[in-house]
Amino acid sequence: MKVKQYLEQVAYIGKSDITDDEGKIYLSKFDDSYITRVGMEDNVKYLAEREITDELTHGVGFSPKDNKWYGWSHRAIFGFEIGSICEKGHCHYVPSTPEALIDDHADFFLDISQESADSHRRQCQILDDRSGIRILNEPIALPVIHGIENVADALEDVGSLPEEQIFKDDFYEIKCGRGEWTAKTMEDAKQMAKDFNEGVS
């Protein structure tokens, strides 16, 4: 399907909700979610080629042509159907226990160093109902320039800048998933597509 035809079928043009952005954007006719910017239509060519036209949201949709649910981000796209599998190491894999969630979270940082992985492991707490984990971000102290008039002084001596902490008292939660499993229904395939979108976003 050609991109223009595709966008006419699945989207409408609206205003950007970004402050001071006068540009126009394409929004899904299904749920009003962002699809792409006007002028950047080629960015959704891969969606048009697969004819992902049903229940199109930002990152998930169904292709009647392929009979697959797709999940995607700017980095990757993949289609799921009955019989699709989810195993540890796949982008759509979400551990089924809080302990495994913590291991996955910490292991992600092993490429940096063991110290980084250990630091991120310490940030994790198991939720009281064991439905997932809470991650308490370690605050980071950064030098801050207050006002344009201080830029010249800052360039001469960055160490003289006052520090402010970011991520102080900041946290987020990750819920347990299904672990390793196989899609037995199209609803399962849809869930895999959603998990894939989360995993690659």
| Tens-digit pLDDT profile for residues 38-95 | 999 999 999 999 999 999 999 999 999 999 999 999 889 999 999 999 999 999 999 9
CA 66 to chain CA mean position, Å: 24
Residue-wise pLDDT tens digits, 120-153: 999 999 999 999 999 998 777 777 777 777 677 6
CB 41 within 8 A of CB 3: yes
Nearest to 44, CA basis, from 85, 93, 3: 3
Tell if the pTM clears 0.85, that is, is over it.
Answer: no
Q: At what angle do helices 114-122 and 98-107 cross, to 10 degrees?
A: 140
The pLDDT assigned to 158 comes to 67
Spans of all domains in the chain: 3-92+180-200, 98-175
Q: What is the dihedral of CA 36, 40, 42, 48, to 10 degrees?
A: 20
Instruction: Quote the DSSP letter at residue 32.
Output: -
Q: Order of strands across the sheet with 124-126? A: 124-126, 132-136, 171-175
